[in-house]
């Protein structure tokens, strides 16, 4: 980052010598004022024609045209984007079709007007450090308010509704009333799934409290289009003995925030966070009252079609979908086994079924901590002891198809059943030599 700042200063000096001015813009200004390190730096150059800017960039590095017709450039080896001021006007639906025109002499106010929120419309002179604030972004930043810049430009891009929710979550800011009202009227059905997942991922991976993303979308009345399965958990009752926090919606949001504390330990952090989001979708269709008690039997399996439908709306990545389905199906198992002080064999079967056993335990922990009252008994020690034992067992040799063929067996329609039997023996702790003998004897009895 230090090198990029130095390069930005070098470019700004050359720009100034030709009568122009260079400004830091967007997130890097906001993050700098918040004391957050920004990985990507954007500068906007005013008062120079594209050819003059290109000549400057060629003199300091290897210029790359990120979008020449849009007036956007980069320099190879640097996280620095350089742009000319431009106007954008929507000519289609969704975050897709915009007519963009570059105008180096448009002025800072008109250039900043295309930004979505006032805290992102701040500009900072690269050489002097002077803050240019045409829309009250400094005051909004100080008060923790997220306010849109312009009614017309904001409404042209429905993705900004999602951006507002993820900014509110990441920076724990309150949405201004006029912005909230505007967001309620914007249709989100034209946005591509990739864009939705992008904003959702930022909230899940960057916010300390990802729950705020969904709380804000609820406030905006914007859950239905993309997050209907989550919205269906609102007012779904839970057993107060175990869930004094309230409905299934409240529990899910608490679990999300607990998961955020654990995501750095997950093997698949984003997938893990999506699992925390989806894990109780089934409660919306299984919850009922029986004998004066609220129950949600088999919600972890009955909810799988809901989870699959939700994920396919967001992504085509099959490994992600299978991981979340697997985590959802198994999320109740770890603490159920711990409560029963189950055998090593039962724990091994659970871990063997899990796509990622380590992440499964993290999800179970988040689920357990995302409720009130908090559990009095810490069962993590039991579970991690069993996981270590499973990992040791998994590293030991077990019977393979090659072993069966070497023992004189011919691959046929029963071969997979024999391998499955051998694997069950392995999970029970039977050593390879003994297991091979048992499989052969099992086969001989079966063909008699």
Q: pLDDT tens for residues 346-379?
A: 999 999 999 999 999 999 999 999 999 888 778 8
Q: What is the dihedral of CA 148, 154, 157, 161, to 10 degrees?
A: 30
What percentage of residues in the chain have a pLDDT greater than 90? 88
| Contacts for 289-292: CB closer than 8 Å, 24+ residues apart | 289/237
Q: What is the DSSP letter of 117?
A: B
What percentage of residues in the chain have a pLDDT greater than 70? 97
pLDDT at site 98: 55
Q: Which residues contact 191 (CB under 8 A, 6 or more apart)?
A: 94, 95, 158, 159, 162
Distance CA 201, CA 207 (A): 10
By residue count, the chain amounts to: 448
Average pLDDT over residues 137-158: 96
Distance CA 215, CA 301 (A): 26
pTM of the model: 0.93
Tokens of 301: 């399996």
Average pLDDT over residues 161-165: 98
Domain ranges of the chain: 1-145, 264-394, 396-447
The CATH H-level (homologous superfamily) assignment of domain 1-145 is Beta Polymerase, domain 2 (3.30.460.10)
Per-residue exposure over 277-292, b if at least 16 CB sit within 10 Å of its own CB, e if not: bbbbbbbbbbbeeeee
Q: State the residue for tokens 């705020």.
A: 212
Mapping DSSP to helix (H, G, I), strand (E, B) and coil, where does residue 1 land? Answer: coil
Query: 38 with 49: CB under 8 angstroms?
Result: no
Residue 240 has pLDDT above 70, yes or no: yes
Q: What is the DSSP letter of 276?
A: H
Rounded to an integer, what is the distance from CA 27 to the centroid of its chain? 19
Sheet with 123-125: strands ordered across: 63-67, 72-75, 80-83, 41-46, 21-25, 123-125, 131-132
The sign one gets for the Cα dihedral 324, 193, 41, 115 is negative
| Residue 244 dihedral angles phi and psi, to the nearest 5° | -70, -10
| Contacts for 220-225: CB closer than 8 Å, 24+ residues apart | 220/161, 220/164, 220/165, 220/175, 220/180, 220/183, 220/184, 221/184, 222/161, 222/165, 222/183, 222/184, 222/186, 222/188, 225/187, 225/188, 225/189
Residue 332 has pLDDT above 70, yes or no: yes
Tell me the H-state helices in 41-132: 50-60, 108-112
pLDDT in tens, 65-98: 886 567 899 999 999 999 999 887 655 555 455 5
Residue 59 has pLDDT above 80, yes or no: yes
């Amino acid at each position: 980052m230090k090198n990029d700042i130095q390069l930005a200063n070098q470019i700004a000096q050359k720009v100034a010598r030709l009568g122009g001015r260079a400004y830091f813009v967007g997130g890097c200004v906001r993050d700098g004022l918040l004391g957050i390190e920004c990985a990507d730096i954007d500068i906007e150059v005013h008062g120079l024609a594209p050819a003059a800017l290109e000549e400057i960039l060629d003199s300091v590095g290897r210029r790359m045209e990120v979008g020449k017709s849009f007036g956007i450039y980069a320099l190879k080896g640097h996280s620095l984007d350089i742009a000319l001021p431009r106007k954008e006007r929507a000519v289609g639906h969704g975050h897709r079709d915009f007519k963009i025109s570059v105008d180096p002499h448009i002025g800072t106010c008109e250039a900043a007007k295309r930004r979505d929120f006032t805290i992102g419309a701040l500009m900072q002179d690269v050489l002097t450090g002077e803050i240019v604030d045409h829309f009250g972004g400094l005051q909004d930043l100080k008060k923790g308010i997220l306010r849109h810049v312009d009614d017309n430009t904001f409404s042209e891009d429905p993705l900004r509704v999602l951006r507002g929710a993820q900014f509110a979550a990441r920076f724990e800011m309150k949405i201004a009333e006029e912005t909230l009202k505007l967001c309620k009227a914007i249709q989100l059905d034209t946005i591509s799934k990739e864009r939705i997942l992008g904003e959702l991922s930022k909230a899940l991976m960057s916010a300390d409290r990802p729950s705020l993303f969904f709380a804000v979308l609820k406030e905006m009345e914007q859950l239905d289009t993309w997050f209907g399965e989550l919205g269906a958990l609102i007012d779904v009752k839970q057993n107060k003995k175990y869930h004094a926090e309230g409905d299934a919606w409240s529990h899910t949001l608490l679990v999300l925030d607990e998961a955020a504390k654990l995501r750095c330990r997950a093997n698949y952090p984003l997938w893990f966070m999506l699992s925390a989001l989806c894990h109780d979708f089934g409660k919306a269709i299984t919850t009922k009252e029986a004998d004066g008690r609220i129950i949600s039997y088999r919600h972890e399996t009955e909810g799988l079609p809901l989870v699959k439908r939700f994920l396919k709306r967001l992504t085509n990545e099959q490994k992600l979908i299978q991981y979340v389905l697997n985590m959802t199906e198994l999320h109740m198992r770890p603490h159920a086994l711990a409560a029963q002080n189950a055998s090593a064999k039962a724990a091994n079967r659970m871990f063997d079924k899990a796509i990622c056993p380590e992440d499964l335990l993290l999800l179970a922990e988040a689920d357990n901590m995302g409720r009130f009252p908090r559990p009095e008994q810490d069962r993590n020690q039991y579970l991690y002891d069993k996981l270590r034992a499973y990992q040791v067992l998994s590293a030991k040799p077990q019977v393979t198809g090659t072993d069966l063929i070497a023992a004189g067996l011919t691959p046929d329609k029963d071969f997979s059943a024999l391998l499955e039997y051998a694997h069950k023996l392995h999970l029970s702790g039977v050593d390879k030599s003994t297991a091979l003998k048992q499989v052969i004897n099992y086969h001989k009895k079966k063909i008699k």
